[in-house]
Structure 1
Amino acid sequence: MNNASFMSDLFSKQSYSSNNFFLIAGPCVVESEELLDEVAAKVSAICKRLEIPYVFKSSYRKANRTSANSFTGIGDEAALQLLKNLGQKYQLPVVSDIHTAQEAALAAGYVDMLQIPAFLCRQTDLLIAAAETGKIVNVKKGQFLSGASMKFAVEKISGAGNNKIMLTERGTTFGYQDLVVDYRNIPVMQENNVPVVMDCTHSLQQPNQTSGVTGGNPQMIETIASAAIATGVDGLFIETHPNPAVAKSDGANMLRLDLLEPLLEKLVRIRKAVI
């Protein structure tokens, strides 16, 4: 795992192997307290057994939906409070997305890490507002950017006085309805001396469907994750749900919860083979 001091602080309440990758995982969006609890209980137990440092992820609101009819959330403060309660219950750090500069201070009162969606990674005001909260800031690489260009996002955040920065690869637009992953972006972004994460689920989205609902290719999650671990990535991002078919957001590319444990077991073996 990347030895940035803030990462050690982030996982101070967990026992883990210092040679392991870390995991950011959870359902795409806060649907209910019951869902959050089911996923957190299952994933935290798996990660504890496998000595994987774990950050719980769920979006308190989904602002970047294709269709106006898509589910966006249960209410900002209600969802944020559920995330805070869950983090305290399971002694886990929690991350959620923000979409505007005004959201940064609100979300920072409830979560440990702020995530910048890929489409918004160049929004200077948003990056600076996130930096000024003092929280860890995870910036997803835009589907339209190279890994090398993400140095400017790092410079914006560090220039605002915050060096607690992570970058996430999530694929590059290929045509109108597909994404491809260029694994060169992992070592290129690591040159910024920040932890780099591979988003194994959003990189398999199939956007711009005429139905207004984004498609996906979840059967390739293992392939994406395995290649990322072999490339030397610091962490993995995997959205997971007990029943993706009924998920209220991104069900087409989430990993079914019962498939996570065998996948992580395999990835731990790959990690041990390449370090």
Structure 2
Amino acid sequence: MPSPPNPVSLGPKTRIGRGGPLALIAGPCVIEPGDLTDRIADRLAELGEELGIPVVFKASFDKANRTSKSSFRGPGVEEGLRTFERIRARTGLPVTTDVHESIQCEAVAGVVDLLQIPAFLARQTDLLEAAAATGRPVNVKKGQFMAPWDMGHVVSKLSGAGAVGILLTERGTTFGYGRLVNDFRAIPVMQGTGVPVVFDATHSVQLPSAGQGVTAGEREMIPYLARAAVAAGVDALFLEVHPRPEEALSDGPNALRLDDLPALLRTCLRIRSAIEEGAAPEPSGGPGRS
């Protein structure tokens, strides 16, 4: 079976993959009422221009796996797709969102540039194949219950179904109850499948079901994990951001404050630059020769 394409192209300007710049997939957890989602997208577009990095806007139209039935789920697919169309038009950013059922894939792919498969559904063959069949690239989050080498089977399923581009995302592994841990060996292991790898620094700090009917989190740990992932050679960062995380309607404890994003990205870009300089070949003639 031929290797999946690497890097992955999302529209005419955005490429994610080895040899390219560090990319960013970012946005709020869920589309919220009012103009908040648009304002976040506008700021992300500005940052992409300022820092010279590829940016993909992300948000969910439906959070189908909430801990409690009373938790906010989002506007639904129809309104959500209208929001994505508007954001693409006003910012020029490619957009991504998650799909939970095979029947959603075709309609969502008609609007977004990248389909995301949630971690809990990473092994659902019918969903993977339906996403691949749309002709859009697919980003699969590694299940908290899966080893990184198991994602080779995910890549094979998508490749066999004709996927035009594949990304894999590391987002932590379940450790006992209510805690996730990251093994950064997962990044090179999953890159060994031939596809770019994304690191989700915000979902990695979740404390699942640790709140009162909601998922808690350790927001202060996001920068540490993001910096470590860049040092390990990840191709893109995935960050949920919000102007006021304490007021977010979903996953606020795990969201990075939007105002803190520029400084974190600049630090990560310096780390990336240092790694690339360290990997550069020595000048012709070798050390000590003129």
Quickly say closer, same or farther: Cα 1:15–1:151, change in 2 above 3 A: closer
Contact 1:196 1:233 survives alignment (8 Å): yes
Unpaired segments of 5 or more residues in structure 2? 277-290
Q: Deviations over 1:2-41 (max 9, x none)?
A: x95663x32533699x642100000000113511211111
> C-alpha separation between the residues in 2 aligned to 1:209 and 1:152?
31
Alignment RMSD, CA only? 1.7
1:12 has 2:33 as partner: no
Query: Larger C-alpha radius of gyration, 1 or 2?
Result: 2
> C-alpha separation between the residues in 1 aligned to 2:11 and 2:271?
22
Contact 2:7 2:196 survives alignment (8 Å): no
Give the length in aligned residue pairs.
Answer: 271
Quickly say closer, same or farther: Cα 1:157–1:15, change in 2 above 3 A: closer
> C-alpha separation between the residues in 1 aligned to 2:20 and 2:139?
21
Partner of 2:62: 61
Partner of 2:36: 35
Contact 2:25 2:58 survives alignment (8 Å): yes
Task: State the TM-score, normalizing by the size of structure 1.
Answer: 0.95
Matches within 5 A, 1:140-219: 140-209=141-210, 211-219=212-220
| One-letter amino acid of the counterpart of residue 63, structure 1 | A
Unpaired segments of 5 or more residues in structure 1? none
Matches within 5 A, 1:82-93: 82-93=83-94
Contact 2:5 2:166 survives alignment (8 Å): no
Partner of 2:287: none
Quickly say closer, same or farther: Cα 1:210–1:55, change in 2 above 3 A: closer
Which runs of 4 or more aligned residues in structure 1 lie more than 4 Å from their structure 2 counterparts after TM superposition? 3-6
In structure 1, the residue corresponding to 2:227 is in which secondary structure?
Answer: helix
> C-alpha separation between the residues in 2 aligned to 1:56 and 1:211?
30
In structure 1, the residue corresponding to 2:108 is in which secondary structure?
Answer: helix
| One-letter amino acid of the counterpart of residue 48, structure 1 | E
Contact 1:66 1:213 survives alignment (8 Å): yes
Contact 1:13 1:91 survives alignment (8 Å): no
| One-letter amino acid of the counterpart of residue 119, structure 2 | A
> C-alpha separation between the residues in 2 aligned to 1:162 and 1:126?
12
In structure 2, the residue corresponding to 1:79 is in which secondary structure?
Answer: helix
Q: CA deviation at 1:203?
A: 0.5
Contact 2:7 2:15 survives alignment (8 Å): no
> C-alpha separation between the residues in 1 aligned to 2:111 and 2:81?
6
In structure 1, the residue corresponding to 2:140 is in which secondary structure?
Answer: strand
Q: Deviations over 1:229-250 (max 9, x none)?
A: 0000000000000111111110
